[in-house]
Chain A
Amino acid sequence: MPHDHDHFHHEGLSSSGHPYRQDNDTPLTYWQQMEIAVREILIEKDIITTAEIAAQIEAMDARSPAQGAAVVARAWSDPDFKARLLKDAAEASREMGFDIGPLKLIAMENTADTHNIIVCTLCSCYPRNLLGLPPDWYKTRAYRSRVVSEPRAVLREFGVELPQSTRIRVHDSTADMRYIVLPARPAGTEGLDQDALAQLVTRDSMIGTGLPRQPDLPRQAG
């Protein structure tokens, strides 16, 4: 079946590369009915206000991998900041103005011989207050189950092949203690400022399922 190639690739995908979210005119589900009911009861009982809900959604929407990328780029550029980040990633992130709440946050540094990956095998704990909500795959049975026992095979599914000599450390998050990966600064980036460096830092590179972009390659999604 012939396709207009460009059209085919954009069909059904939003600008983020994800399928368009469902509109509000799809049939009401039982769980949506419950969400509306719970929300309205909390508002009627003066426990929560509509404005609080809107503000919380706005605050969560504002969190994104760009925040983490700014932290990483500064750590690449500023050795003192990097030391503070590795000592207490929550405090170092707050120092940059990011509201990461009461979570304990630990940064694991990728080095020439060690690569770090984060997971939550028990549920879906993620450094959400820095990076925003986790990607769907992070919450899947497949990722949670396999990344601890066969991380190299999982990395290959993400298109990452590491030398056998590289030690892979997988960090299992808990509800109260979240991890973030501090990826290794790519070679050939000596002349770049922090803003340019931040452009190289992908979400997946801070989870450990990806590597930073190379400075001489065109930018790719993800």
Chain B
Amino acid sequence: MTDTDGRRWHDMGGQPAGPVAMEGHDFALWEKRIDALMVLCGNKGLLTVDGLRRVLEDMGEEAFEKYSYYERWIASVNQNLIEHGVYSPEELGTKMLEVAARGATYGEAQND
């Protein structure tokens, strides 16, 4: 037996932490779209909430601190869809390059 309690990083209940940061923000379109993709892919049986969480938890504490909520969500949605066989990493890579080539801003990078 060790003297650690076996908890993973995301199991935060009761751990010491600083004051609650009260700042909020209005969700941007890209964040709402990621939320919608998660719900719709869930409805279509392409990912589960458990699958979403597994990837988020496996991303580790550093990712939790470094990336924003929906940045981590799209990473997890993407990983789940690849694992489900919806598309390959190569297809994603090709599409991401195509997106970036359209323009330097989120608005310009849309296909419309």
Give the B-binding residues of A (Cβ under 8 A).
14, 16-29, 31-42, 45, 47-48, 52-53, 56-57, 60-61, 119, 121-124, 133, 135-137, 139-146, 148-149, 154, 157-158, 172, 175-176
Contact = CB atoms under 8 A, between A and B. Distances in A.
B105 A47 contact: no
Given A31-B70, A39-B33, 15 more contacts: A21-B27, A33-B109, A34-B74, A34-B78, A35-B74, A36-B99, A36-B109, A37-B99, A38-B78, A121-B12, A123-B56, A133-B27, A136-B23, A137-B24, A145-B13
A139 B69 contact: yes
Interface of B: 10-30, 32-37, 39-41, 44, 46, 49-50, 53, 56, 64, 67, 69-71, 74-75, 77-78, 81, 86-87, 91-92, 95-96, 98-100, 103-111
Contacts of B64: 141
A57 B33 contact: yes
Contacts of A142: 17-21
Contacts of B25: 18-19, 21, 136
B11 A21 contact: no
Contacts of A41: 86-87, 91-92, 95
Contacts of A24: 29, 105-107
A32 B35 contact: no
